[in-house]
Structure 1
Amino acid sequence: MPRSPSIVPQGADHDVYLVMNDFGRLGRAWCEADEEGTNREAVIRQLFEDHYSHPVRIVAFNTAEGWSRDVTVDIADEVRRRFSEYDDVPRSVAEFLESAVRR
């Protein structure tokens, strides 16, 4: 029987960030992302670009180092620090910050 390809990044010793988005009636799902869009800076930039309609959770992992953790509050804190750099902050970001405070 053929083996399924691994979803673990090959030769990648870096942190990967994934965003869970709430799609309302359709439920929650981890958003699809290309490899270059899964680092910390890219996820923060995508939040400000309104890439996610309703982000609810962000996790980070590093398979080479063997760890994973929920970084929702860490990312929310970073977004809050950068708030003043942006003229117009998407509603999805404001809602994300409100929900992260309740964690």
Structure 2
Amino acid sequence: MAVHMPNCLLTGVPYGADQTVYLVFDSFGASRSDCPEKEIERDDLETIISDLLTGQFNAPVRVMAFNTLEHWIEDVSNQVAEEIQARCDIDSVSVPEHVRNFVASHTGFAASGALM
């Protein structure tokens, strides 16, 4: 799987530590010639999900995980979007507007819950 990674990525990545780091790419509508996405680094998936649900990101587009020792990277956007949808379903609330497009684009469900 090829993943487009802007040149402005990974500025604060720890070296040598065996940890998985999560990056949220939050789009601010910058031009494609500029850094199109701003990355926000977190060190655990629960914090990412909580921050997404509480509006810490304006327009999330992707969540990537990578391990600094094992040298792997994975797009976990689908996993995060499904977890957000599941938590909203359990609480019988709508997906918050600020993450609605993110959830819809990674789960295949429209904002109304209908399969796209």
Work out whether the TM-score is over 0.5.
Answer: yes
- Could you tell me the percent identity over the aligned residues? 35
**How far did residue 8 of structure 1 move?**
3.0
Where in structure 1 do 4 or more consecutive aligned residues deviate above 4 Å? 86-89
Looking at secondary structure, tell me which structure has more helix per residue.
1
| C-alpha deviation, 1:100, in angstroms | 1.1
1:60 aligns with 2:58: no
Deviation at residue 61 of structure 1 after TM alignment:
0.2
**Separation in 1, partners of 2:91, 2:15:** 35
Q: Secondary structure at the match of 1:31?
A: strand
Residue correspondences, number: 93
Partner of residue 113, structure 2: none
Relative contact order, higher structure (CA 8 A, sep 6+): 1
Where structure 1 has 5 or more consecutive residues not aligned to the other structure, the ranges are 1-5
- TM-score, normalised by the number of residues in structure 1: 0.74
Superposition deviation, residue 73 in structure 1? 0.6
In the TM superposition, residue 10 of structure 1 has moved relative to its aligned partner by 4.3
Structure 2-normalised TM-score?
A: 0.67
